[in-house]
Structure 1
């Protein structure tokens, strides 16, 4: 998910400016995770970051752009940590490990998961429409479809509509995290194990090799 507010015509930010932006984004994530989207005003985020509200306004045009930077940073971080775990795996192992690796992100980066859930649910454009929706999952869907195409080419996956499965998988992952947030005592990794088993069973070619 990328920001809609690309800095047109602006010079490349300096190392110090980039570091300050990262500091503000990290503070915004912590504030949203702890206080919720509605209470995460720029003033509250500034207090968490230990800077003035003016410093935030210098780097971001407003709360919308800052929240978009949070979402982009969170998803980029997840991809950078999860993708290397899938490299070199056989297709079915890759499909299973993907579910488990994403769930593990929830355990090791809980605040990020809480924050992104709050932002995606509540952030709206100036016209009142939700900023994020199913259309913003396109990159994720394409990644899943790539896994399925690889499995089909090797004969280990049955024939099925790759887009339908991709949409179903992402909805299942979202529901998994939603349930975990609503029921903090639930076992996230046990849920992920069951989900991974279901996904593999759904796509496996009974006549193919593992």
Structure 2
């Protein structure tokens, strides 16, 4: 009986945290960083008290860090299967770019929320961004080892790919065709990384 009660409590806690994070993403995306108050989050989440937020998140920075983590987790859920299904380093690079563009286009509120956190000057944990660059760096290293990619600074190229995708977010949110955007970016980095024959 106690195990069931503990499990129910854990599920309830997880559901409440999810409710708060989802509401925070919506408020950030629609109202901006400056208007993302606990009152606004309560209103959108349908919570009766701000204490429910502070019970689950000790500070607003902790809540915003969880929003960033949620966005990267949701993006990984879209991107990982596409990357894993691709073959060869060049195929995986194209899948990385295409799936990331697809995620941005399909989740504009997530992207606006992240932009608002960054532009608002909140402390941004770098673990997720560093992990994304590290994954690309490893992909480029592998592609060079297997003779798929030419010699270049793999870390610099990883940062360049991330910067190009991040820069495309504004256009995608404004309604640019994600297929055209993904194709253009994938072709650009195919040309930038391939061995010239």
Aligned twin of 1:80: 77
Aligned twin of 2:59: 62
Aligned twin of 2:166: 174
Aligned twin of 1:188: 178
The root-mean-square deviation of aligned C-alpha atoms, in Å, is 2.0
Instruction: Provide the rounded CA distance (Å) in 1 between the counterparts of 2:195 and 2:62.
Output: 45
Matches within 5 A, 1:14-93: 14-51=10-47, 52-89=49-86, 90-93=88-91
TM-score when normalising by structure 1? 0.82
TM-score when normalising by structure 2? 0.88
> Which structure: greater helix fraction?
2
Q: How many residues align?
A: 188
Q: Gaps spanning 5+ residues in structure 1: where? A: 1-12, 125-130
Alignment match of 1:118 (pick from 108, 116, 119)? 116
Instruction: Provide the rounded CA distance (Å) in 1 between the counterparts of 2:85 and 2:72.
Output: 22
Instruction: Provide the rounded CA distance (Å) in 1 between the counterparts of 2:30 and 2:171.
Output: 18
Q: Structure 1 20/188 Cα, relative in aligned 2: closer, same or farther at 3 Å?
A: same
Residues 91-110 of structure 1: per-residue CA shift (max 9 Å, x gap): 11111121111010022211
Match of 1:205, SS state, is coil
Q: CA deviation at 1:165?
A: 0.2
Q: Is the 8 A contact 2:29 2:112 kept in 1?
A: yes
